[in-house]
Structure 1
Amino acid sequence: MLAFHMIYGVLLILLVLLVTIWEIARPSGAPRGLRGATIGLMDLQILIGIITWIVKKPSWSFVAHPVFMIVAIIIAHIFTSTRRSRRSRVTGWIVAFVLLVLGAALFHG
């Protein structure tokens, strides 16, 4: 389960990078369906992470990784909505991407 979580996480970070670039490059932003699918896949990754946490039972000192990841997904949910301004969406995707990378670095570090 841990290996799947790690591989899926790397692919998800790449997808978020793609959506971020798309959001920056196009005045209309990323397509709504792509945004929704990416957020849904992020939610799935949280669920897989919780299952991995329960199965692996890491020490409580390993708390920064899930905190960074959960905050990244909360930001993605709130600030990347199509109801937000383009500037807010771009900022949301960039912040979510940075937090995902930092959270992954904490996991692998």
Structure 2
Amino acid sequence: MGHVHMIYGVILILLAIVATAWEIASKAGLPKAFRGIVIGLFDLQVILGIITWIVRRPHWQFIGHPILMVAAVVILHVMTSLQHARSRRIAGWIIALVLLIIGAGAYHA
């Protein structure tokens, strides 16, 4: 299960880079459906992470990875809503992307 979570996570970080670039480059931002798909895939990753956490029972020092990743997904849900101004959506994508990259690095540290 851990390998699936890790490989899927790398794919999602690449997808987040594409979504962030799209949000920055396009005046209209991400289409509503694409935003929903991306965030839904991140929600699935959180579920896979919880399952991996239960199966592997990592050491307590590993807590930084799940905290950063869940924070990133919460930011995606809250700050990237199409109801918000474009600048806030862009900030949400950038902040979430930075947290995802740092969180992935915390896993490998």
CA distance in 2, matches of 1:44, 1:90: 23
TM-score calculated relative to the size of structure 2: 0.99
Aligned length: 109
CA distance in 2, matches of 1:87, 1:32: 16
Q: Which residue of 2 aligns with 1:101?
A: 101
Q: Which residue of 2 aligns with 1:34?
A: 34
Q: Which residue of 2 aligns with 1:18?
A: 18
CA distance in 1, matches of 2:34, 2:13: 14
Shift of 1:108: 1.1
> Where do 5+ consecutive residues of structure 2 fail to align?
none
> Where do 5+ consecutive residues of structure 1 fail to align?
none
- The 3-state SS of whatever aligns with 2:13 is helix
Moved over 2 A (4+): none
CA distance in 1, matches of 2:106, 2:60: 14
RMSD over aligned Cα atoms: 0.4
| Amino acid in the other structure paired with 2:44 | L
Q: What percentage of residue pairs aligned between the two structures are identical?
A: 51
CA distance in 1, matches of 2:47, 2:7: 15
Deviations 1:51-94 (A, max 9, x none): 00000000111100000000000000000000010000000000
Q: Which residue of 2 aligns with 1:59?
A: 59
CA distance in 1, matches of 2:61, 2:107: 12
CA distance in 1, matches of 2:108, 2:61: 14
Residue 92 (structure 2) pairs with residue 92 (structure 1): yes
